[in-house]
Amino acid sequence: FFSSVALAPDDPILGLTDAWLADPRSPKVNLGVGVYYDADGRQVLPESVMRAEATLTARRRARSYIPIDGLPDYDSATQRLVFGEDCAAAAEGRVVTAQTLGGTGALRVGADFLKATLPFAKVAISQPSWPNHQVLFRAAGFEIGNYPYYHADSHGVDFDAMLAALLAMDAGTVVLLHACCHNPTGADLSTAQWREVAGTVRDRGLLPFVDMAYQGFDRGIAEDAQGIAILLEAGVENLLVANSCSKSFSLYGERVGALSLVCASADEARRVRSQVKQTIRANYSNPPTHGAALVATILGDPDLRAQWEEEVGQMRGRIKAMRNGLVARLAALGHPEFAFINRQAGMFTYSGLSPAQVQRLRDEFAIYAVSSGRICVSALNEANLDYVADAIARVAG
């Protein structure tokens, strides 16, 4: 039965971790996957998460099924995190939020819901984007197009080209936008650019689907969600948001995320929720308990929440310090052209290294990065910065 099954390629991001783990060389550095490591290169649970875990353990909860659309406390706390405390649409009962299996699960449930609701819609994704965006929307049956986003020379957003592409799209096109910390480029829209995008999306009748996997990693929790608030302020009636707690709570393996859908009325929201629940039920029945219970505990307790926000701020600060450290070392090695790394936001730098240069990093230095040139800055630390900077300087020529 399976004799004709072809061998699929390794995943361009997660496959790197497998290869890095199997690499016997030392030193070796994994700058591939987007995971936060501390100053000692370890992945640790934030203190706030450990405290919430102790609280939950002491309660000795049973593990029954939870609702198809997730823990109610988690859903409402997440909705406030994503849309802010004073969101009119939320107050009017127009926002549906459903717990999902990470941000990827949110994107996929959203994509499946959209395919069932708008079967002929096209999907437009930024060029470049997280590779799994293409994969999962295609798996949901969509025809995918790209819109220009990144300007290689300026290392920033090619905003004129992006806007022109939005203006040329068919009404009803689903436009995938990155809320903050654009993956892989680290180039984000300014406030003024978000306003223009929001007006264009509204006037052209496009449907925004915002991916927010790195809330808190650029400027702050509310600040990094500003694009969503701006879309709503502009009067965009329907939009979807996929958000993730993988990075911001360091809960990667717990698979905690949520899909939110803004609807035109509370009645529409009720119908949309019923369909989203059907999509989830047909996939994995209902989501797991633990990660969402941790997040709900943290967000529901002012003391834990303050500690968590402070810890996210520390992660943000360390990443920025590593950017600085890399730029300074590269400049000292005769490569001042990498100064743009300090202007990029979030976990990644889009280094400009070619696939061949990335391959050299791996072959000659056991340094693993994504072939697009994306480097995970949060995997840098004082112990590996010199080694990495030296290797980049060598392959950069």
| Local structure of 287: helix, strand or coil | coil
Is residue 368 part of the contact set for ligand LMR (CB under 6 A)? Answer: no
Is residue 325 part of the contact set for ligand LMR (CB under 6 A)? Answer: no
Angle at 392 between CA 386 and CA 394, to 5 degrees: 100
- Of residues 197-226, which lie at the interface with ligand LMR (CB under 6 A)? 213
Structure tokens belonging to residue 276:
């989203």
Q: Which residue's beta carbon is nearest to the bound ligand LMR?
A: 34
**Least Cβ distance, residue 14 to ligand LMR (angstroms):** 6
Is residue 33 part of the contact set for ligand LMR (CB under 6 A)? Answer: yes
Question: Is residue 188 within 8 Å of 181, Cβ to Cβ?
Answer: yes
| Local structure of 123: helix, strand or coil | strand
Structure tokens belonging to residue 279:
């999509």
Q: Active site includes 218?
A: no
Length of the chain: 397
Question: CA 144, CA 135: separation in Å to the nearest integer?
Answer: 10
Catalytic residue among 211, 218, 224, 308: 211
Q: Active site includes 277?
A: no
**Least Cβ distance, residue 1 to ligand LMR (angstroms):** 30
Nearer to ligand LMR, 132 or 173 (CB): 132
Nearer to ligand LMR, 34 or 165 (CB): 34
Nearer to ligand LMR, 308 or 368 (CB): 368
**Least Cβ distance, residue 343 to ligand LMR (angstroms):** 20
Catalytic residue among 75, 247, 277, 308: 247
Catalytic residue among 69, 112, 115, 130: 130
Question: CA 385, CA 364: separation in Å to the nearest integer?
Answer: 17
Nearer to ligand LMR, 157 or 213 (CB): 213
**Least Cβ distance, residue 330 to ligand LMR (angstroms):** 23
Say which DSSP state 376 is in.
E
Question: CA 292, CA 73: separation in Å to the nearest integer?
Answer: 9
Is residue 319 part of the contact set for ligand LMR (CB under 6 A)? Answer: no
**Least Cβ distance, residue 104 to ligand LMR (angstroms):** 6
- Of residues 145-184, which lie at the interface with ligand LMR (CB under 6 A)? 183
Nearer to ligand LMR, 69 or 211 (CB): 211
Count CB neighbours of 144 within 10 A: 15
**Least Cβ distance, residue 102 to ligand LMR (angstroms):** 8
Nearer to ligand LMR, 34 or 227 (CB): 34
**Least Cβ distance, residue 247 to ligand LMR (angstroms):** 8
Cα dihedral 259, 260, 265, 267, rounded to 10, equals 40
- Crossing angle of helices 102-117 and 266-283, in 10° steps, is 110
Size of the site for ligand LMR (CB under 6 A): 8
41: left (phi over 0), alpha (psi -120 to 50) or beta: left
**Least Cβ distance, residue 369 to ligand LMR (angstroms):** 11
Question: Is residue 111 within 8 Å of 140, Cβ to Cβ?
Answer: yes
| DSSP-assigned states of every residue in 321-366 | HHHHHHHHHHHHTT-GGGGGGGG--SSEEE----HHHHHHHHHHH-
Q: Active site includes 211?
A: yes
Question: CA 279, CA 272: separation in Å to the nearest integer?
Answer: 11
Q: Which of 13, 256, 345, 353 binds ligand LMR (CB under 6 A)?
A: 13
Is residue 34 part of the contact set for ligand LMR (CB under 6 A)? Answer: yes
Alpha helices by DSSP H, listed for the chain, are 14-22, 47-59, 72-83, 88-91, 102-117, 131-139, 159-168, 191-204, 221-224, 226-233, 266-283, 290-299, 302-332, 355-365, 385-396
Nearer to ligand LMR, 213 or 388 (CB): 213
Q: Which of 20, 37, 83, 130 binds ligand LMR (CB under 6 A)?
A: 130
Binding site for ligand LMR (CB under 6 A): 13-14, 33-34, 130, 132, 183, 213
Catalytic machinery residues: 130, 211, 247
